[in-house]
Amino acid sequence: MLKLMEKNLPSDESIVRVPFKTVLASICGLWLCYFLLTTLRAEMFDLGYAQELLLRRALASVAGVVTTLGLWLILRLFDGRSLWTKILVALIVSAPVALVLAESNRLAFADMEDRIMQRVAEQQGLEMRRNEAGDIMLYLPGSAMGGSSGMPGEAPPGGAITIDQQKRAESATQQLMETAFGRYFMMLTWCALYLALLTGEKARAAERREGAYRRAAKAAELRSLRYQVNPHFLFNTLNSLSALVLTGKTQQAERMIQMLSTFYRHSLAEDPTADVSVRDEFALQRLYLDIESVRFPTRLTTHYDLPDALAEAKVPGMILQPLVENSVKHAIAPSSGTVTLTLSAREEYGRLVLTVEDDGKTALRANSYSSAGHGIGLANVRERLEARFGKQASIVSGPTDSGYATHIRIPLIGVEGYN
């Protein structure tokens, strides 16, 4: 029957398995409980021969572990099948396994039976002997052993109990079947435990797959959002470059091209889903603002405030780029005077706060910085933060007394004492 059931077994190597260590631990735990309980029972009945019985009980338990491992090797062939198939296999295979266990238990204690019976008879004041037919004779107190007629097997005047070989054989067979039934239900109990462990492993595997899918989807979202930044930045930079060429500022245009090449060499070399240090993020924005300073040599001044303790903190790559571009577009470009653009980082209640601030005094700044209808700028940053940190990140933007500021608050990662 097993061959018929194995014909359509799935051969996929991705079938979820219970780790061997877990299987072995469950089997050893089962037989350890058996060993301890049977030892306790022997002590309660005071059968004697404690050391010898302990050794034989240990051997029977080891044989049980080996036999149960054989049962597991059969069950694991059906790990990829339906639950009812596995239950049916467990019900069928456990029967011969139980018979093997019962027989191994009988063999382990076979030569101890007569010795234990002899000891019990002595405790009851009886004397045990065997007659020529091999039957066991238990003589009661006051009996004349051997009988008055001297014929073997006859009850002496004082009376005796005779246990003949046939009855002993029948009793042994009955005892073997009772033991086999006990082992059968013991094996079914372990099979139920194994199926529960297998179900748990499948649930954990499903959770791991779901987690991998979520991470892949999040990485795709982050990659998409990050890739939106580069074309947007390139579009603005090419417009600036075009303006320099049209006005005959060739040297400035050449300088901008060189810096643009350096900027893209750095930005495109990174994994779009990876975090970078605040030091590197500030360096990239400094390079971008150097490009813009070619376009606005007298209107743009920059200031950077990065404490050494926070230089290695991790942030999403180019997370400040849209914010810096907004300041250039809405504060510096429309201004006729000098505008100072400040990039700063600070620690606040165990969180990293990144600030992009300018002192430009242009009209309609609040509307231009609104995430609704403002392209990829502030909305892109907000979506990237949400995809990367969920509700642990926030972004607040608004006018200040001196101009406009945007504050990003994210978990402080990569700094000792805050990880």
**pLDDT tens for the 419 residues of the chain, in order:** 444 444 444 444 568 889 999 999 999 999 999 899 888 887 776 656 667 778 888 888 999 999 999 999 999 999 888 889 999 999 999 999 999 998 888 887 766 665 656 555 555 656 666 666 555 666 555 554 444 444 444 444 445 566 555 565 566 678 888 888 989 999 999 999 999 999 998 888 888 877 766 665 566 555 555 555 556 567 767 877 887 788 888 887 888 888 878 777 766 666 666 788 999 899 888 988 888 887 788 899 999 999 999 999 999 888 898 888 888 888 888 888 899 999 999 999 889 999 999 998 754 454 444 444 344 578 778 888 888 888 899 999 888 888 899 999 999 998 776 65
CATH architecture of 249-411: 2-Layer Sandwich (3.30)
The pLDDT, as a whole number, for residue 155 is: 43
The 8 Å CB, 24+ separation contacts for 369-375 are: 369/326, 369/330, 369/397, 369/398, 369/404, 369/406, 375/232
The pLDDT, as a whole number, for residue 287 is: 84
The pLDDT, as a whole number, for residue 412 is: 93
Q: How far is CA 168 from CA 18, 114, 120, 335, in A?
A: 44, 11, 17, 112
**How many residues can be counted in the chain?**
419
Mention every residue, 6+ apart, whose C-beta is less than 8 A from residue 39.
Answer: 54, 57
Q: How far is CA 255 from CA 233, 241, 287, in A?
A: 17, 10, 12
Amino acid at 338: T
The pLDDT, as a whole number, for residue 10 is: 47
Q: What is the CA radius of gyration of the chain?
A: 43
Q: Break the chain into its structural domains and give their ranges.
A: 2-121+167-210, 249-411
Tell me the sheet residues that pair with 353. Answer: 346, 409
CA–CA dist 391, 394 (Å, integer): 7
pLDDT tens-digit map of 161-171: 665 555 655 66
Q: What is the 3-state secondary structure (H, E, C) of the chain?
A: CHHHHHCCCCCCCCCCCCCHHHHHHHHHHHHHHHHHHHHHHHHHHCCCCHHHHHHHHHHHHHHHHHHHHHHHHHHHHHCCCCHHHHHHHHHHHHHHHHHHHHHHHHHHHHHHHHHHHHHHHHHCCCEEEECCCCCEEEECCCCCCCCCCCCCCCCCCCCEEEECHHHHHHHHHHHHHHHHHHHHHHHHHHHHHHHHHHHHHHHHHHHHHHHHHHHHHHHHHHHHHHHHHHHHHHHHHHHHHHHHHHCCCHHHHHHHHHHHHHHHHHHCCCCCCCEEEHHHHHHHHHHHHHHHHHHCCCCEEEEEECCHHHCCCEEECCCCHHHHHHHHHHHHCCCCCCEEEEEEEEEECCEEEEEEEECCCCCCHHHHCCCCCCCCHHHHHHHHHHHHHHHHCEEEEEECCCCEEEEEEEECCCCCCCC
Token duo for residue 84 = 């009812």
Q: 17 burial class (0-12, 13-18, 19+ CB within 10 angstroms)?
A: middle
Nearest to 296 by CA among 344, 337, 246: 337
